[in-house]
Amino acid sequence: MGAPSVVVLDYGSGNLRSAQRALERVGADVTVTDDFDAALEADGLVVPGVGAYAACMSGIRGVRGDVIVDRRLAGGRPVLGICVGMQVLFERGVEHGVETDGLGEWPGVVEELAAPVLPHMGWNTVRPPEDSVLFAGIGGERFYFVHSYGVTRWALGAEDPNRRPPAVTWTHHGQDFVSAVENGPLCATQFHPEKSGDAGATLLENWVRMV
């Protein structure tokens, strides 16, 4: 059995190569591309994101990333969002008074954090639930964040009592915000695991195992 194939979706955002290298180090066969079929057919898809919410959504739609994510999830195929790549999975984002529709995979609004210092930049702890798979083997570690916006209210419950409810991880900076989600084939982190040292590498390794 070969290494799982992972596509890092190239839609004009940054941090593509650092994500590629981090995933390769934990055993994935990684391609950085905007190719529709390759992104659809890979074992795992990573949606990165740096910068403004509206610009990221424009880039994603430009390579039909919205269709790719939707089709992959409909088929139960793993997707991992990172930073703004996590934020766009929610219903919408509000930046500088501008509202932008997101991918709508989860209910919720991405808004500016009520914090004394923004951006929230540097290392911070996280509070994962006990049943987290992403954070298996990781205890009390810090992860690297760079953002000013986030989701502060989680609105999705366990719609089907026979299915595992979403596992939501929280972090505090001025206020609590969602810093990671595990929801079936769809996972996401507000922090950058590819810049988070050994803890980030363990998290990516856990995700690659899920793929």
Q: Hey, what are 86's tokens? A: 């996590």
- 97 DSSP assignment: T
Phi/psi at 204 (5° precision) = -65, -40
* Active-site entry in 105, 182, 194, 205: 194
Residue 46, phi then psi, degrees to nearest 5: -110, 130
Burial of 186 (0-12, 13-18, 19+ CB in 10 A): buried
DSSP annotation string for 137-158: T--S-EEEEEESEE--------
CA-based R_g, the chain, Å: 16
Mean pLDDT for all residues in the chain = 95
172 included as an active-site residue: no
Tokens of 33: 């591309």
Q: How confident is the model at residue 115 (pLDDT cuts 50, 70, 90)?
A: very high
Q: State pTM to two decimals.
A: 0.96
Q: Residue 205 is part of a domain; what is its CATH number?
A: 3.40.50.880
pLDDT at 123 over 70: yes
Q: Which is the catalytic residue, given 56, 83, 147, 205?
A: 83
CB atoms within 10 A of CB 209: 12
Task: List CB contacts of 154: < 8 A, sequence separation 6 or more.
Answer: 108, 166, 168, 178
Q: By the 8 A CB rule, do 52 and 46 touch?
A: no
**The total number of structural domains that make up the chain:** 1
Q: Identify the pLDDT of residue 192.
A: 97
Does the structure show a pLDDT above 70 at 34?
yes
pLDDT (tens digit, 9 = 90+) per residue, 151-201?
999 987 655 555 678 999 999 999 999 999 999 999 999 999 999 999 999
**CA distances (Å), 39 to each of 43, 65, 143, 158, in order?**
9, 9, 27, 29
Render pLDDT for 39-76 as a digit per residue (tens, 0 to 9). Answer: 999 999 999 999 999 999 999 999 999 999 999 999 99
Question: What is the C-alpha to C-alpha distance for residues 170 and 125, in angstroms, rounded to an integer?
Answer: 9
| Cβ contacts of 168 within 8 Å, gap of 6 or more | 129, 154, 178, 180, 181
Catalytic residue chosen out of the listed positions 56, 173, 192, 205? 192
SS3 of residue 199 by DSSP: helix
Check residue 157 and give its pLDDT. 67
Cα separation, 97 vs 16, in Å, equals 29
Domain span at residue 18 reads: 5-210
d(CA 19, CA 33): 13
End-to-end distance of the chain based on CA atoms, in angstroms?
Answer: 13
The question of whether 187 is a catalytic residue gets the answer no
Check: CB of residue 8 under 8 Å from CB of residue 48.
Answer: yes
